[in-house]
Amino acid sequence: MMRTADIDTPALLVDLEVMERNLRRVADYTRKHGLRLRPHTKTHKSPRIGRRQLDLGAAGLTVAKVGEAEVMLAAMPEAGPADLLVAYPVIGHAKLERLMAVARRAHVTVSLDSLAAARQLSEAAQAAGVKVGALAETDVGMGRVGVSPGAELLGLARGIERLAGLSFEGIAFYPGHIKANGEAGREALTALGGVIQRILADFRREGIEARIVSGGSTPSLYHSHELEGLNEIRPGTYVYNDWNTVASGACTEDECAAALLVTVISTARPGQIIVDGGSKTFSSDRFAGSAESTFGHVVEAPGAVFHKMNEEHGYVDVTKCDRKFEIGERLTIIPNHICVAVNLHERVYGIRGGELEEVWEVAGRGKLQ
Amino acid sequence: MMRTADIDTPALLVDLEVMERNLRRVADYTRKHGLRLRPHTKTHKSPRIGRRQLDLGAAGLTVAKVGEAEVMLAAMPEAGPADLLVAYPVIGHAKLERLMAVARRAHVTVSLDSLAAARQLSEAAQAAGVKVGALAETDVGMGRVGVSPGAELLGLARGIERLAGLSFEGIAFYPGHIKANGEAGREALTALGGVIQRILADFRREGIEARIVSGGSTPSLYHSHELEGLNEIRPGTYVYNDWNTVASGACTEDECAAALLVTVISTARPGQIIVDGGSKTFSSDRFAGSAESTFGHVVEAPGAVFHKMNEEHGYVDVTKCDRKFEIGERLTIIPNHICVAVNLHERVYGIRGGELEEVWEVAGRGKLQ
């Protein structure tokens, strides 16, 4: 058995107990409130964890790309329904053909925001002889994908209902603009609740059944039950959490399951250490919690400021630390954004009680298409 | 043969003619000025291109990580000297053992900035029975790795000279702080020239031979011959170039060989298109040329502003474009920082005259260790 001390750096470590607690907490919360859980697997990209999410009661798994759907088939139970939501419009012949191969092995639903995308999906489903679910994506304030609530959304839903090969299953949105708890978060949630109510009133009035009302992201996770009409959530980050999630108030440092193990490789400059992880290890996603541009939290030295990076170099200002750092010393750093960091790693080192218990591949890493 | 139209998106395209021109231009420049060229392969991470750099006269290849050195062995000529510079301190038993396996097949040089790193390398070289080159890394203004010029650098060089298994080959520095041409760049280059002169005077006075004086990055590339005493450069980005290099004045848009092919997947929001490449495709490295946070240059629509991204979504503001964009339309985008983008892709699509000519693997992708 490899020991933790033998893991070469930089490496992605996951504390298995913390991860299990995170998985159980959300499973318990959704069960208690009668919410369907289709966790987004973009964070972990590993069938091993997807399977655990299903075992704990998830109704299905969410992916962004067809390549991730292909990988997540391995997470599906041998017996019982297999369910995959592709929360991304699938455009173009090559991807649709691959998606239909997945749809022969699992119930596939796609969320999309245009009739152009719906027509392509309908044609592919008919050609393949499968039925594919569709969710009409609406924009509730994120300003990314999704048609506006109201006439546009109703038009999209009606359009989907008319297309052969598709079953209209409901609506999807991503409240990624709700980043913080506290007063600002509460106001944003109240506004979101109003939007959902107006959408559902529209649908009732027009006689369109939106069986699934799917939203949910990690920062606003535990407020999901306060949103009347919402019946499914798709959080991803909660499995590992990260420093941005801590900043949002949605978790504590103790609930961060994943961290990057790095080694100090230079102490040549006074007041600074260089670690062997930069943007190729952490990603260059910045800290959302303030205007400061920092790249992670150094667990062993909370006063250290990870303020700059190049591809292979992390610059850590240690002027506020009352200790010395030696070349070869190892540090654990919680990244700002764990999803993009996971995508940079081939494998995860699962740690329990400080010792290495298992290693798994990030099988869904780098699935761009 | 696959046609360009059949390449699924997002995908990394390289224009083979532009790349060849870039490679030749630097090869010609270094030959003309009697500079050794050891190009940094971190940009392309592909033995196929490393081999071409050697064929065009490069003295060796530079890598950052041992894993990249292992990959670049495949670029070395069957006959003739194989030369690899690891421009990064190699710390720890696991990496050193792998490096010694490389050192049995090629002449390996490591640039390092501490006696702690030099001693580890010396012990590994002695145990393996190989001779490894060492460059003393000095900081000429970047503030990253490297000891200060003067007493510290002399002490490091003398320390390396005394260690068995190592041959002291000279000094290395990375002038990554010189980003722009024009007046600011000229002042920085003049200052750098002064630093090099003082270092070389120190070495002459102390009777230490610095056979190699290795610097050079892409933005200041064509000024290398103006720096007296500099005899080796290690540019990386020049093979592909990117939008930051254009901003630095070191290349033009026509000299950008690489771009990301993406598809428009949403037009739901007026004045905005969403493309199927975000930080998982481009990296979230920002544009160095201004305070604006943009993520690349849309070739087909120069007025479009690629202003925001999530992992799978690129947000492009098209309010200044006097044309419509359709779902399914493909666009080519030159990224800000090509090195980190290449690291996110499994393969490169080599295009000549608009048609796909070859596909190669990014064999050195994701080599974190």
What pLDDT digit, counting tens, does each position of A299-328 carry?
999 899 999 999 999 999 999 999 999 999
CA distance A190 to A227: 8
CB atoms inside a 10 Å sphere around CB B101 = 14
Sheet holding B107-112, edge to edge: B36-37, B232-233, B212-215, B166-172, B132-137, B107-112, B83-86, B61-63
Residue B1 has pLDDT above 70, yes or no: no
Beta strand pairing call for A330-335 and A296-298 = antiparallel
Residue B279 has pLDDT above 90, yes or no: yes
Q: At what angle do helices B151-162 and B182-206 cross, to 10 degrees?
A: 50
Residues of chain A neighbouring B89 (CB-CB closer than 8 A): 265-266, 327
Q: Please report the sign of the dihedral spanned by the C-alpha atoms of residue B168, residue B169, residue B175, residue B176.
A: negative
**In a domain? residue A367:** no
pLDDT at site B291: 65
Same domain, B107 and B237: yes
Q: Which residue has the higher pLDDT, A182 or A329?
A: A329
Residue type, B239: V
Q: Do A279 and B312 touch (CB under 8 A)?
A: no
pLDDT at site A284: 87
CATH number at residue A288: 2.40.37.20
Torsion of CA A160, A161, A165, A171, to 10 degrees: 60
Same domain, B268 and B234: no
Percent of chain A with pLDDT over 90: 88
pLDDT at site A293: 80
Quote the distance between the C-alpha of residue B18 and its chain's center: 17
Q: Do B280 and A340 touch (CB under 8 A)?
A: yes
Size of interface A-B (CB pairs under 8 A): 176
Q: Do A343 and B311 touch (CB under 8 A)?
A: yes
Biggest distance spanned by C-alpha atoms of chain A: 70
Q: Identify the bridge partners of residue B213 per DSSP, sorted by sequence position.
A: B171
pLDDT at site A34: 98
Residue A183 has pLDDT above 90, yes or no: no
**In a domain? residue B369:** no
Measured between CB atoms, which of A120, A144, A327 is closest to B114? A327
- The Cα of B32 is separated from the nearest Cα of chain A by a number of Å equal to 31
Name the E strands within A149-257.
Answer: 166-172, 212-215, 232-233
**In a domain? residue A110:** yes
Q: CB distance from A119 to chain B under 8 Å?
A: no
**In a domain? residue A368:** no
Residue A174: what are its φ and ψ, rounded to 5°? Answer: -130, 110
What pLDDT digit, counting tens, does each position of A18-43 carry?
999 999 999 999 999 999 999 999 99
Measured between CB atoms, which of A145, A176, A313 is closest to B266? A145
**Closest Cα in chain B to A95:** B8
The mean pLDDT value for A86-106 works out to: 97
Q: Please report the sign of the dihedral spanned by the C-alpha atoms of residue B115, residue B120, residue B123, residue B124.
A: negative
Q: Do A315 and B263 touch (CB under 8 A)?
A: no
| CA nearest neighbour of B262 among B277, B272, B247 | B277
CA distance B338 to A312: 15
Same domain, B283 and B307: yes
Residue A291 has pLDDT above 90, yes or no: no
Residues of chain B neighbouring A276 (CB-CB closer than 8 A): 91
Name the E strands within chain B.
Answer: 11-15, 36-37, 61-63, 83-86, 107-112, 132-137, 166-172, 212-215, 232-233, 258-266, 272-275, 296-298, 305-309, 314-317, 330-335, 347-352, 355-361
pLDDT band at A1 (very low <50, low <70, confident <90, very high): low
pLDDT at site A219: 85
Beta strand pairing call for A355-361 and A347-352 = antiparallel
User: Assign residue A323 a region: left if phi > 0, alpha if psi is -120 to 50, beta otherwise?
Assistant: beta
pLDDT at site A331: 98
CA distance A146 to B315: 13
pLDDT at site A177: 87
Q: CB distance from A147 to chain B under 8 Å?
A: yes
Residue B311 has pLDDT above 90, yes or no: yes
String of DSSP letters for B243-297: HHHHHHTSS-GGG--EEEEEEEEE--STTEEEES-SHHHH-SPPPTTSSS---EE
Q: Do B340 and A280 touch (CB under 8 A)?
A: yes
Q: Find the length of chain A.
A: 369
Tell me the pTM. 0.96
The mean pLDDT value for A162-181 works out to: 92
Q: CB distance from A270 to chain B under 8 Å?
A: no
What is the three-class DSSP state of A367?
coil
**Closest Cα in chain A to B141:** A269
Measured between CB atoms, which of B65, B274, B281 is closest to A368? B281
Measured between CB atoms, which of A95, A266, A286 is closest to B145? A266
What pLDDT digit, counting tens, does each position of B216-225 carry?
888 889 999 9
CA distance B38 to B22: 15
pLDDT at site B177: 87
Q: Do B265 and A368 touch (CB under 8 A)?
A: no
Q: CB distance from A111 to chain B under 8 Å?
A: no
Same domain, A22 and A90: yes
Q: CB distance from B266 to chain A under 8 Å?
A: yes
CA distance B107 to A205: 77
Is B103 within 8 Å of B76 (Cβ atoms)? no
Residue B12 has pLDDT above 70, yes or no: yes
C-alpha count within 13 angstroms, C-beta hemisphere, residue B225: 10
Q: Which of A42-56, A343-357, B78-92, B255-269 has the lowest mean pLDDT?
A: B78-92
Residue B249: what are its φ and ψ, rounded to 5°? Answer: 90, 0
Measured CA distances, B174 to B167, B221, B235, B347 (Å): 21, 12, 10, 29
**Residue of B98, B144, B325 to mutate for A, most A C-beta atoms under 10 A:** B144
Considering chain B, what is the average pLDDT of its residues? 95
Is B132 within 8 Å of B110 (Cβ atoms)? yes
Q: Which of A33-47, B14-28, B165-179 has the lowest mean pLDDT?
A: B165-179
CATH number at residue B119: 3.20.20.10
Is B261 within 8 Å of B13 (Cβ atoms)? yes
Q: CB distance from A177 to chain B under 8 Å?
A: no
Domain boundary among B187, B211, B241: B241
Q: Please report the sign of the dihedral spanned by the C-alpha atoms of residue A149, residue A155, residue A160, residue A162.
A: positive
Domain boundary among B181, B209, B241: B241
Residues 217-246 of chain B with CB under 8 A from chain A are none
Domain boundary among A189, A207, A240: A240
Residues 179-198 of chain A with CB under 8 A from chain B are none
Same domain, A207 and A273: no
pLDDT at site A181: 74
Residues 28-67 of chain B with CB under 8 A from chain A are 42, 64-65
Considering chain A, what is the average pLDDT of its residues? 95
Is B102 within 8 Å of B66 (Cβ atoms)? yes
Quote the distance between the C-alpha of residue A291 and its chain's center: 24
Q: At what angle do helices A182-206 and A151-162 cross, to 10 degrees?
A: 50
Same domain, B71 and B102: yes
**In a domain? residue A369:** no
Q: Identify the bridge partners of residue A355 per DSSP, sorted by sequence position.
A: A352
Same domain, B105 and B143: yes
**In a domain? residue A2:** no
- The Cα of B224 is separated from the nearest Cα of chain A by a number of Å equal to 22
Same domain, B149 and B260: no
Q: Which of A15-19, A251-255, A263-267, B75-79 has the lowest mean pLDDT?
A: B75-79
**In a domain? residue A366:** no
Measured between CB atoms, which of B145, B281, B313 is closest to A144? B313
Same domain, A137 and A200: yes
Q: Do B268 and A139 touch (CB under 8 A)?
A: yes
pLDDT band at B132 (very low <50, low <70, confident <90, very high): very high
Note down the domain range covering A261.
Answer: 253-361
Q: Do B117 and A346 touch (CB under 8 A)?
A: no
CB atoms inside a 10 Å sphere around CB B29 = 18
Residue with tokens 């949910």: A216
- The Cα of A171 is separated from the nearest Cα of chain B by a number of Å equal to 15
Same domain, A203 and A336: no
The mean pLDDT value for B278-305 works out to: 88
**Closest Cα in chain A to B277:** A368
Residue A35: what are its φ and ψ, rounded to 5°? Answer: -95, 140
DSSP code at position A147: B
Number of domains forming the structure of chain A: 2
The mean pLDDT value for B326-337 works out to: 97
The mean pLDDT value for B47-63 works out to: 97
Same domain, A181 and A38: yes
Residue B188 has pLDDT above 70, yes or no: yes
Is A11 within 8 Å of A38 (Cβ atoms)? no
Same domain, B211 and B356: no
Measured between CB atoms, which of B8, B116, B312 is closest to A95? B8
